[in-house]
Every structure is written in structure tokens, then in C-alpha cells.
Chains A and B, each alone.
Chain A
Amino acid sequence: MKATVSLPLLSATNVDAGYGHVRVLESVSIDVRQGRIVVLVGRNGAGKSTLLRALSGLNRPTAGKVTFDGRDITTARPNAIVDAGLLHVAEGRRLFRRQSVADNIELGRYALRLTEQEHDRRVDRIHQLFPILQEKMNLPAGSLSGGQQQMLAIAQAMMREPKLLMLDEPSLGLAPVLVDQVFAAILALRAQGVAILLVEQLVEHALEIADDAYVMQNGRVIASGPAAEIAAGDALQAAFMGEHGAPHHPEPRQSGS
């Protein structure tokens, strides 16, 4: 079954998920449509990263349903979800630091059968989008700067030509000029038809490039809509100022590993 324009590419319905017996997400529903940038905003501990982990199969949902590209992936294994075209670039890039940049890119296409031309075409596209990586192909990934590492993590995902790319805090720890580069890459990917689900702490910047937005608080979605409306609305304020009975001190970050 192929997703049509009217059907969302990714659809999560009433998803519960967490770590062991700790439930983090309560009945979360989101949709991501083809070729759109969707941003998830909310404070630390709101459940944004947990949602991405639930969608990519790292933390299997305990309730609810996730469909992607017309398939039910609620209980699918992470590698099956990757094969379906849903890629997740985790917080902190999570590269294979001891292996070279070239090897990391090759691992991005693991278990994928590509013709040589197709393989080279994808590598060329990565080099076009991130020329700096071309110069560093033989260095260990761990020796790259934070920005270059983020580019490499996106490049790994690009080897699979994902339908939907989920990015968790891609700007974390980057200098402003590199943030701009990463955001430009996100826009370039959308221009190629890739849908993006973005978790981002630079809320204003993210809402500027996004089409749709979800505001999360305490494991729930408290508002959703076009990014411009969310940027102007009250829910954002509420989520970050700690209304709805949320504590004022920052909650511990969900690292999950």
C-alpha cells in the first residue's frame, strides 16, 4: 500500500511509551505528512526524545498504534523500521567514533543492496550537501567537530534515502554558523521530498523553518497546528513557563541509555 498525499506518512495514535516501568508518554498522537518539516517543542523531560525512540522502535510503545507509509510499525524491530524508510538520528549523533568517516557513511547503507552507480550517486549527494565531509573521509569520526559529526550522522541516514528523517537536537552544542548549515541541510532535504520530524531546543529558529508543530509537556501533546500559529500562540508560553502544574525547576533529561 502506498501513502497518498492525503494520508499522513507517519501517524502515531494514542501512544504510551517509557523506560521499563516508568511511563513517559501518555496517549501521544502526531501526524507527519510527506515532504513536511514537523517540529516537536517542549521543555527537557517533556518526552520528545522518548517519542522519537518509540517511533524508531528503541522503546516499544506499550499502548497505541504507529503506522508508517501505510504499514503498522508499532511492534516492528528497529532494523525493520529503518528498512521501511524511517530514520532516526539520535541525540548526541551516536557515531561510530573509532571508525573512519567513510566507514560510517558505508555503515549507513548496511544490508542495503545498491548498484555501484546508485551507491556513488548517493555518496555524491552527501558530498554536495556537506563538502567538508569529503575532505575528512579517512579520519576517525571521533576526530570531527560537533558540527561535522552532526553532518556525518545526517549523511549516514541519507545513504538510505529516507522517507522520513527524525532529528533529535541537531543543533546541540554547535556554533551559530554551524547551526545555520545544519538547518540549511534540513531545508535541502525537504526540497528533495524528505519529511523531517525535528526535536529542537532552538524553538524560534525551528518554528521558522517548520511547517507544522507540536507542543509537548509532561509526556502529552498540549497543542498542535501550523508552525506559524504555534509560534504566536499561548501553548508555547505555557509549556516553557511551567503552567499546568508543572514544576519550575528543569527536569532531569531523558537520556535513555
Chain B
Amino acid sequence: MDIDVLAHGIVAGSLYALVAVSFNILYRPTNVFNFAQGELVMLGAMIFASLTSLAGMPWLVAFAGTLVAVGCIGLVEERIAVAPILARSQTGTGWVITTLATSLIISNLVGRFWGPDPILVKPPALLSMDSLDIGASRISSYEIALVLVTLVLVAIVERVYRTLKGKAVMAVAEDREAALLRGIDPGSLGRWSFFLGAAFAAMTGVLAAPILYASTSLGPDLLLKGFAAAAVGSIGNNRGALIAGYVIGVTEAVGASLLSPGYQEAVIFIVVLAVLLLKPEGLFGSPNARTV
């Protein structure tokens, strides 16, 4: 097998893992699976592209601005589309419809605002999308950086869950009522998680933009593959999401090179279905399980 195919699978897989982690951040304290997550990733890419390529803002300023803006959109989504449903019943599933609706609203509004043309986004200074010639691989310095940054980000997220606030989130995930009786406010943790999960999704969009271009059609594709990574890696488990992201990225790349590129999505879903048929809870244990 071509080493290049593997390398590009890992790069794509890193992005899927990041989307999956953003799902998990939201899911842990709320048990809500945010179907608007793909559009939040897209919004991250589009806002960032507009701020840098069109408005000419410095990379870091645009990056911070994008994260805060999309984080706030996530918070608004939580207030309008999720909190009222959970207030009625913690086990209600109405959020499936409301988060899907949020996704459609964002997608339609964005289409009016930006139009269908993809925007080219340059990597930050010192990195480039030009391929380096390392052995047989044609990978770029930006792609290598992306893979490393993904590892660091997952490590940071896991570190956050070792703080008392993070442990409280895990406590809410395990037994919401028991958490209430210890003075933990699940509502506040849920709002924070929506803000941070949305900001994380936006960051994923920013990181993906130099590779995939910023385009309004980014959402559904990353939603599906990110969901696949989250499900295969066991929902709520970030290290599982990382491994599963790689599995899906590599499967996709190998499938596209062996078969025709037209089959690459079919190959992914065959893998996902096979894993979930054999292990419905995903490869890495029960939901919310701590892997220590």
C-alpha cells in the first residue's frame, strides 16, 4: 500500500477526530447529540476565511474572534433549542429535531450570506500546503502540524476532565440527580459545554480550511464522518474518538485508492456498521467510561 495514502488518511482522520471530540464535549454533561455540529465547523471555517482572506485580519486575532463568535452561537443554540427541551424532561429526545432544525437554519442563512464558492485559506505563517518530499510521501508541513496539533488538543481536553469542573461534568454524565445533590449545577455545566464544544467545532473548521477550503458545503460531510468517529470510538470517549478518527480516515483513503473515489463513503459506512453490529457501544467501552 502507498504510504502517501496512509498519511492522507491520518490527516483526514485527525479532522474527523476533532469533530468527534467536539461532539463529546457537548454530549458529556447534557446527553445531547448536537446535529448542528457540522454547521458549527463550517461556520468556523467561513468566519475565519472572511476575517483573514477577505478582511485581512492577523491570523491569531481572526482565530480568537472566530472561536468566541461560534461559541456564542453554540450558547444561543443551547438556550433556545436544547435547554427548554431538557427542562421538560431530562430523558426527552426532542433535541434531535431542534438541533437538526438549528443545523438547517444555519445552513440556509449561511448560503444567503456567503454564496457557494469555496474560499482559499492560507495556513498560518511558517507553514505551507506545498508538499514536502519525505520519502514516498507528498505531505505538506501544514498537514504534519495538523496531526500533531490534534494530538495536543485531545491531550488538553482530557486534562481538563481531570480538573474538579471536569470531574463534575463526568459526575453529571453518570448520574445527574446525584450531581444535583452534591451542589453541582448541571445547567451551568451544560451551557459551558455548549460554548466550549461549539468553539472547539469552530477551531476544527479553522484547522480544516487550508486543506478542504472554506465552503458552505463543509458541514454535512464533517458531521457524518465526525459522527462515525464518535460512534466507533464510543460516544463520550475522546481517546476512542482519536483512534476511530484515524480508522475512518485511513479506511476512506485506502477505499478511495483501491476502489474508485466514488465508493469512499460507502466503505466508511460499511466499517462503521460492522463495528457497531459487533460492538454497539463502540470500540472503547461503555459511554462516558473513563479510560485510565
Is B truly associated with A?
yes
> Which residues of chain A have a CB within 8 Å of any CB of chain B?
56-58, 77-79, 82-83, 87-90, 94-99, 103, 106-108, 110-112, 156, 160, 257
A77–B185 touching, CB < 8 Å: yes
**What are 25 A-B interface contacts by the 8 Å CB criterion?**
A58-B181, A77-B185, A78-B180, A78-B183, A79-B180, A79-B183, A79-B185, A83-B183, A90-B181, A94-B177, A95-B178, A96-B171, A96-B174, A97-B174, A98-B289, A99-B171, A99-B290, A103-B167, A106-B164, A107-B167, A107-B171, A108-B182, A110-B168, A156-B182, A160-B183
B184–A110 touching, CB < 8 Å: yes
B175–A96 touching, CB < 8 Å: yes
Chain A contact residues: over half helix, strand or loop, or mixed? Answer: loop
C-alpha spacing A77/B177, complex, angstroms: 12
Q: Considering residues B171, B174, B180, B289, which has the most beta carbons from chain A within 10 angstroms of its beta carbon? A: B180
C-alpha spacing A107/B185, complex, angstroms: 12
> Which residues of chain B have a CB within 8 Å of any CB of chain A?
164, 167-168, 170-171, 174-175, 177-185, 288-290
Count, A-B residue pairs, CB within 8 A: 68
Say whether, besides A79-B185, A83-B183, A110-B164, A90 and B171 are in contact (CB < 8 Å).
no
Say whether, besides A99-B170, A107-B164, A107-B171, A94 and B183 are in contact (CB < 8 Å).
no
C-alpha spacing A89/B183, complex, angstroms: 12
Instruction: Tell me which residues across on chain A come within 8 A of B185, comparing CB atoms.
Output: 77, 79, 111
C-alpha spacing A57/B170, complex, angstroms: 22
B170–A96 touching, CB < 8 Å: yes
B167–A94 touching, CB < 8 Å: no
Instruction: Tell me which residues across on chain B come within 8 A of A79, comparing CB atoms.
Output: 180, 183-185
C-alpha spacing A128/B49, complex, angstroms: 60
Smallest beta-carbon distance B282→chain A, Å: 16
Instruction: Tell me which residues across on chain A come within 8 A of B174, comparing CB atoms.
Output: 96-99
A90–B290 touching, CB < 8 Å: no
Residue of B nearest to A56 (CB): B181
Given A94-B177, A94-B181, 9 additional A-B pairs, CB 8 A:
A56-B181, A77-B185, A78-B183, A90-B181, A94-B175, A96-B171, A97-B174, A107-B168, A107-B171
Instruction: Tell me which residues across on chain B come within 8 A of A58, comparing CB atoms.
Output: 177, 180-181
Say whether, besides A58-B177, A94-B177, A96-B175, A110 and B170 are in contact (CB < 8 Å).
no
